[in-house]
Amino acid sequence: MLRFDDLQLFVRTAESGSLSAAARLLDVSPAVASAALKRLEQQLQVRLLARSTRSLRLTPEGELYLAHARLALQSLEEGRQQLIGSQQGICGVLQLSAPSDLGRNTLLPWLDAFQAEHPQLQLRLLLADRVADLFREPVDIALRYGAPEDSSLVALPVAPDNRRVLCAAPAYLARHGAPRTVEELGGHNCLLYMLHGRVHDRWRFQSGKRETLLTVAGNRVSDDADVTRRWAVAGQGVVYKSWLDVADDVREGRLQVLLPDWQGEPTPLYLVCAHRAQLSKAVHLLREFLQRRCQRLLEAAPWR
C-alpha cells in the first residue's frame, strides 16, 4: 500500500528539484527521504526520478505520475479540512506575500480587521514587488496582479474587474494643467515603475472600441510601486496605477482621476498558491474577506 509520506516526499522533491531540499521541508533526514523515494518506486515498479551526483529530474513516468500524486494529496487534505468542521475557529500561521503598494496602503488595515475576527490566527506578511517563488520560499499564498503565467499554480480571483487609472495630485495639475487627450501625456512628467529591470513605460487605454498604446517618459523611475504613488501624491507627476492602490487617495482628494472616459488596462487581483492542499479554511475566509473589501472600492471606480 502506498504511504502518504512517500507521496508527499516525491511531490516536494519534484517541485524543489532537490531530494535534500524536500527532506528539509518535511523535516526528515536525507537517508529517510531517499528510502521513501526508493520504496515508492519499488511499489510502482517504475523509476520516477533520474538521479546523479549533481542533478535530479523527472522521468517521463515521473511526470505522468506527479499529477496523480498531487491529486491524491489534495483529496486527502480536503477531507481533513472537512473533518475540522466549518464552525471551528481558525488558528495557526498564515504566510502571505503581497505587492508593496497594495500591502502598505490598503492591505494593512484590512488584515488588522481580519485578525480581530480571528484572534487565534498568526500572520506573516511579506511585502515585495518581485514575484515570490511559491515553491521555494516560505509563503503559503500570494496576492498578485494579473493571472500567473505558470499554469501549475492555483489562482483564485479576488478582484477580477480591477483596472489601472491615470492620476495626478491637485498640486501638479495646478502647475501643469490636466491632459485633455491621451496624446497630451507626451507633454507631462510620467512617474514610472520598473520590475525585473524593465521600465513599464507603455500605457494602454481603451474608449469604446478605440484602443491606444503609447510610450511615456518622465524624470523618476522606481522598482517600488509604493514610491511611484508617493511621488504622485507629492505632486511630482502623472501616475498609471491599479485602482485598488489609489482608491483611498482619490476619495480623500490626494489624487484626481484623469481622462475618465478612457479605461486603463485590466489589472485583476488573484490569490495564488502552489497547491490546492494550501487552500485551508483560513485561506478561504481571507479570500472572501478580501473580495468584500475590494468590491467596496470597485463600486466607486471611475469606469462604473
d(CA 220, CA 118): 41
d(CA 110, CA 143): 14
Q: What is the pLDDT of residue 70?
A: 86
**Displacement of CA 58 from its chain's centroid (Å):** 27
What b-and-e string marks burial along 252-261, b requiring 16 or more CB atoms within 10 Å of the CB? Answer: eebbbbbbee
Higher pLDDT, 26 or 157: 157
Cell numbers 528539509 correspond to what residue? 24
Q: Compute the residue count for the chain.
A: 304
Q: What is the pLDDT of residue 86?
A: 45
Q: What is the pLDDT of residue 164?
A: 96
d(CA 107, CA 158): 13
In the structure, what pLDDT confidence band is assigned to residue 178 with cuts at 50, 70 and 90?
A: very high
Higher pLDDT, 190 or 21: 190
Q: Is the pLDDT of residue 135 over 70?
A: no
Q: Is the pLDDT of residue 265 over 90?
A: yes
Q: What is the pLDDT of residue 107?
A: 93
Nearest 10 degrees: Cα torsion 87, 88, 94, 97: 0
In the structure, what pLDDT confidence band is assigned to residue 87 with cuts at 50, 70 and 90?
A: very low
| CB distance 303 to 263 below 8 Å | yes
Q: What is the pLDDT of residue 52?
A: 73
Average pLDDT over every residue of 22-34: 85
Q: What is the pLDDT of residue 85?
A: 46
| CB distance 50 to 65 below 8 Å | no
Higher pLDDT, 36 or 129: 36
Q: What is the pLDDT of residue 216?
A: 96
Nearest to 205 by CA among 187, 224, 184, 220: 184
In the structure, what pLDDT confidence band is assigned to residue 93 with cuts at 50, 70 and 90?
A: confident
Percentage of the chain lying above the pLDDT 70 cut = 92
Output the CA angle 102-103-105, nearest 5 degrees: 70
Q: Is the pLDDT of residue 184 over 80?
A: yes
Contacts of 234 (CB under 8 A, 6+ apart): 169, 171
C-alpha cell at 304: 462604473
C-alpha cell at 273: 498558491
Higher pLDDT, 80 or 63: 63
pLDDT tens by residue, 266-283: 999 999 887 777 788 888
d(CA 25, CA 232): 43
Q: What is the pLDDT of residue 97?
A: 86
Query: Minimum mean pLDDT among 70-74, 82-86, 237-241: which range?
Result: 82-86
Q: Helical H runs in the chain?
A: 4-16, 19-25, 30-44, 60-84, 100-102, 108-117, 170-176, 225-233, 243-251, 281-298
Contacts of 237 (CB under 8 A, 6+ apart): 168, 172, 188, 189, 190, 191, 218, 219, 220, 231
Q: What is the pLDDT of residue 84?
A: 55
Q: Collapsing DSSP states into helix, strand and coil, what is residue 213?
A: strand
Q: Collapsing DSSP states into helix, strand and coil, what is residue 216?
A: coil
Average pLDDT over every residue of 95-117: 91
Q: What is the pLDDT of residue 72?
A: 85
Q: SS3 breakdown of the chain: % helix, strand, coil, rounded to 5?
A: 45, 25, 35
In the structure, what pLDDT confidence band is assigned to residue 81 with cuts at 50, 70 and 90?
A: low
d(CA 228, CA 191): 6
Percentage of the chain lying above the pLDDT 90 cut = 46
Contacts of 88 (CB under 8 A, 6+ apart): 281
Higher pLDDT, 173 or 134: 173
Q: Is the pLDDT of residue 150 over 80?
A: no
DSSP class of residue 143 equals E
Q: What is the pLDDT of residue 37?
A: 87
Rounded mean pLDDT of the chain? 87
pLDDT tens by residue, 220-234: 999 999 999 999 999
Query: Minimum mean pLDDT among 99-108, 129-138, 156-165, 189-198: which range?
Result: 129-138
Work out whether strand 141-145 and strand 269-273 pair parallel, antiparallel, or are unpaired: antiparallel
